[in-house]
Amino acid sequence: MNDKTILVVDDDKNICQLLELYLSNAGFSLFFCHDGSSALNLLKEHKFDLILLDVMLPIINGWEVCKIVRRTSSIPIIMLTARDMLDDKIQGFNIGADDYIVKPFEPKEVIARIKARLKDNKTESQTEGILKLEEIVIDINKYEVWQENKLIDLKPKEVQLFYFLLKNKNIVFSREQLLDKVWNYDIMGDTRTVDVHIKRLREKLGDQNPSWSIKTLRGVGYKLEVR
């Protein structure tokens, strides 16, 4: 037996029964729900080691659930879908999915992929929802940022922005991408919002750090550069 807990999100009861049979026999603890909204609620209440996430879900679809989870968590996500389109797979990976299994599937394949993702996840040194950068610790669960053991007064969106940039350090994001990832704007928003929040982060955290800085790439966007 192992101590790993998996959240299975699928509205097909037959699929859930099949997965329960095989995954339970493989030693996993399981939670089941059948729509995206319930999945997000369970993720707030419990700690899981992996999510098996169907794409075509009622209320909130699997794409949106994956995007929402990825704002604050690096938990492994394996997408389950009856669609075998290359564009769908690319979309899944682009929004943060770790793997992609097409229905109908062999249960043994699902177990093998789960074990592979859990093994990969063991190598991650960061605690879930907590990132560290030199003297700075950011806890997205509590929306707190500490610098040299002093709590920094950051607004919620400032914390989210800094967390996202740190989690994706050394990667350049346009203002539009940051609006989508942090503010979840599905349509074009006011990119000056991003500029204002970057300015405040620099003022509150300091912009003369020798080992890291929030860089502006003119005409492109921003990145948190860790040297």
CATH number at residue 107: 3.40.50.2300
CB 77 within 8 A of CB 103: no
Query: For residues 85 and 102, what is the distance between their CA atoms, to the nearest angstrom?
Result: 10
Q: Is 123 helix (H, G, I), strand (E, B) or coil?
A: coil
Query: Do 115 and 134 fall within a single domain?
Result: no
Q: What is the CA radius of gyration of the chain?
A: 19
Helices of type H across the chain: 13-25, 36-45, 62-70, 86-94, 107-122, 156-167, 175-178, 192-205
- Residue 1: its pLDDT value, please? 47
Q: How many independent structural domains does the chain possess?
A: 2
Query: Do 93 and 188 fall within a single domain?
Result: no
CB 145 within 8 A of CB 137: yes
User: Which residue among 122, 147, 164 closes a domain?
Assistant: 122
Query: Do 17 and 101 fall within a single domain?
Result: yes
Q: pLDDT tens digits, the chain, 227 residues: what are they?
A: 467 999 999 999 999 999 999 999 999 999 999 999 999 999 989 989 999 999 999 999 999 999 898 877 878 899 988 766 666 677 777 778 888 888 888 888 899 989 888 876 654 444 568 888 888 889 888 888 998 888 999 998 899 999 999 989 898 999 988 988 888 764 455 778 899 999 999 999 987 788 889 999 988 999 999 87
Q: What is the pTM of this model?
A: 0.56
Query: Do 116 and 14 fall within a single domain?
Result: yes
Query: Do 98 and 42 fall within a single domain?
Result: yes
Query: For residues 169 and 166, what is the distance between their CA atoms, to the nearest angstrom?
Result: 5
CB 145 within 8 A of CB 138: yes
| Residues of the domain holding 147 | 130-226
Query: Do 98 and 149 fall within a single domain?
Result: no
Query: Do 169 and 88 fall within a single domain?
Result: no
